[in-house]
Amino acid sequence: MQVMLKECAWESLGDELVVVHDPREAYTLADPDGRIAALLDELARGPATAEELSAALSARGVPVTEDDVRDGLAGLDSLGLVEDAAGRLLGDPDADERHFSNLTFFGVFARLGRPRAEFVRRLRDSHVLVLGAGGGGSSLVQCLAGLGVGALTLVDRDDIAPRNFARQFLYRHADIGRSKVDRAAEWVREYDPGIEVRAVDRWISGPDDLKDLTEDAHLIAGGLDGDPDANLWVNEAALRAGVPWVAGGMTRTQLIYFSVDPGVSACLRCDESDLPDPRERTTAAVAQRLTRGLRLANGLTGPMAMQVGSLVAYEAMRYLTGVEQPRAAGSRVVIDLLDGLVPVWQPFPRDPGCPACALARR
């Protein structure tokens, strides 16, 4: 394997070497004989194998074996400073240019044997079912398209209306009255003709209406509104299909997102297991019943809608690429507008008797 050094700067300081890659942290490495500095100098010339590096270092008077070089590279790899040179790009100049920033971003997570191009390929091979092309959905679709998700199925039953314009930047004035999903699909095609996109203009009135849509999806993103139980239908459909689900939205003063990893995390139905019985005559039960029945006018406006859409897209990216573990699995992440937008994690309770989790195919 040809090893490549990521963007780094270093300087010897007595017996130590100070190395910076990510501005958040400078590494201080013990390097009394200057061998690590010499290895970095050689790597900075361009991609090389351990054998080539050992020969080059020996030629400049630093006698090291190939095994010494491999140990040194493993050390640099553990700090995330080197990667597989062949996996830095997709191999098609147009695609590499299109995904320049995606490849650069995934470079953070690339290691020897874990090339950055692989993360982009996983996204291009993914099919995401997007529920809702409204407030959060509009920016979610744009974020997923930017990441280069290869196939999108967009589901919504609304038409574009003037009141959408505070937050739904997919749409133009001239689109008023048109179907949201048709226009959203058109936007995706114009944005990147390489993305396969399907518009489903359908009203969802139960989990069965989602069955055919989840069949070949790798992930469900977004949610449904209109019925207090609508997200429980999606929860059930996701668990039945064994497909992860990421969704988000806004209450009156809180942005919320969460994800469900079927068979792994607690689900949205589990989350209801510790709620009081709404028939009880207790303050908690009455408050719960009133909260559930509350009809909130949608106050999601541009900055919040984009935040929710992008957080859902980022969590979706974690599932689709495996770049890191999903962070919101089995948790509600609450971003409080009245408390400085600092995210707080609220794990769902686990319900061992959850009827929805029992459906998870794994």
Region from 14-22, 160-168, 265-273, 317-325 binding Zn ion, contact rule CB under 5 A: 265-273
Strand pairing report for 254-260 and 331-336: antiparallel
Closer to Zn ion by Cβ: residue 141 or 354 = 354
The answer to the question of residue 360 lying near Zn ion (CB under 5 A) is no
Instruction: Read off the tokens for 13.
Output: 């300081």
Which of 143/357 has CB closer to Zn ion?
357
Instruction: Confirm if 120 and 102 have CB atoms less than 8 A apart.
Output: yes
Task: Confirm if 244 and 221 have CB atoms less than 8 A apart.
Answer: no
Closest to 232 in 3D by CA, of 206, 266, 201:
206
Smallest distance, Å, CB 271 to Zn ion? Answer: 8
> 226: left (phi > 0), else alpha (psi -120 to 50), else beta?
left
Site for Zn ion in 35-54 (CB under 5 A): none
Q: Which of residues 299-338 bind Zn ion (CB under 5 A)?
A: none
**Interacting residue with Zn ion among 57, 204, 356, 359 (CB under 5 A):** 356
269 near Zn ion, rule: CB under 5 A: yes
237 in contact with Zn ion (CB under 5 A): no
Identify the residue among 152, 241, 243, 270 touching Zn ion (CB under 5 A).
270
H helical segments located in 33-134 = 35-44, 50-59, 66-78, 93-98, 100-106, 116-124
φ/ψ bin of 221: left (φ > 0), alpha (ψ from -120 to 50), beta (otherwise): beta
Closest by alpha carbon to 179, among 200, 160, 199? 160
Cα 48 to its chain centre, rounded Å, is 33
Rounded Cα–Cα distance for residues 191 and 182 (Å): 14
Q: Which of 267, 304, 312, 333 binds Zn ion (CB under 5 A)?
A: 267
Whose CB is nearest to Zn ion?
A: 354
35: three-class secondary structure by DSSP: helix
Give the residue with the Cβ less far from Zn ion, 305 or 354. Answer: 354
For residue 266, the minimal CB distance to Zn ion (Å) is 6
Residue 354 contacts Zn ion per CB under 5 A: yes
Span interacting with Zn ion, options 112-120, 147-155, 211-219, 270-278, rule CB under 5 A = 270-278
Binding of Zn ion by 99 (CB under 5 A): no
Of 14 and 353, nearer to Zn ion (C-beta) is: 353
Least Å from the CB of residue 220 to Zn ion: 16
Chain residues that interact with Zn ion, rule: CB under 5 A: 267, 269-270, 354, 356-357
